[in-house]
Amino acid sequence: MFDALKVATNSNPNAVAGAIAGIIRQEGSCEIQVIGAGALNQAVKAVAIARTFVSELDLICVPTFADIEINGLERTAMRLLVEDRTRRTLVITPGVVA
Amino acid sequence: MFDALKVATNSNPNAVAGAIAGIIRQEGSCEIQVIGAGALNQAVKAVAIARTFVSELDLICVPTFADIEINGLERTAMRLLVEDRTRRTLVITPGVVA
């Protein structure tokens, strides 16, 4: 199982899309973690591009908030679960029983 | 049928989430259009919040690029189709037959 893919403002969306495609082909799903608007922008672009790379699947993404700690400081990250639409995994979200 | 919901950098994610929830309950799906990283950030946060508002469904989003024209200038926007995971709509993406 891969850790969440960390995407940053200066990440190349095409390269990230390639990584997403590879992880999905191997694992069935891919989790991306970002902090900040610039990083999220690159991540969502990468998902749109990955949809064309993995065109045999219907890739969707499920955004959720995640509280993470960096150097002792609490930050709110966004997580994007990317997987085929027909694949159902346990997504733990308040109020949702998957 | 609603036009695509336009979300901007200064949009309130909670208010956008309420709009998404309302449109999805009425129409079954909701399309969001944004230009720029700040607006996309607010839109994705809104989808994460809307998932908790519409917890009887498993809301997912499908990001695609859209070329739009504003004041005669071509811009690349992002579109997010938000709908229940089990709802299949025709998504026209290069290389993907939905």
CA quadruple A21, B76, B19, B28: dihedral positive or negative? negative
Contacts of B94 in chain A (CB under 8 A): 52
Helix axes A37-53, B37-53, angle to 10 degrees: 80
Tell me the ipTM for this assembly.
0.87
Structure tokens at A71: 């150097």
Q: Do B38 and A37 touch (CB under 8 A)?
A: yes
Residues pairing with A70 in the sheet: A73
- Cβ contact, residue pair B61, A65, below 8 Å: no
- Per run of 10 residues, the mean pLDDT along chain A (length 98 residues) is 88 98 95 97 98 96 95 95 83 52
Q: Smallest Cβ distance to B37: which of A41, A61, A94?
A: A41
Least confident range of A31-35, B39-43, B45-49, B87-91: B87-91
Chain B CB contacts of A38 below 8 Å: 37
Does A85 sit within 8 Å of B52, measured CB to CB?
no
Residues 6+ apart with CB under 8 A from A40: A34, A78, B37, B40, B41, B44
Does the predicted TM-score (pTM) go above 0.80?
yes
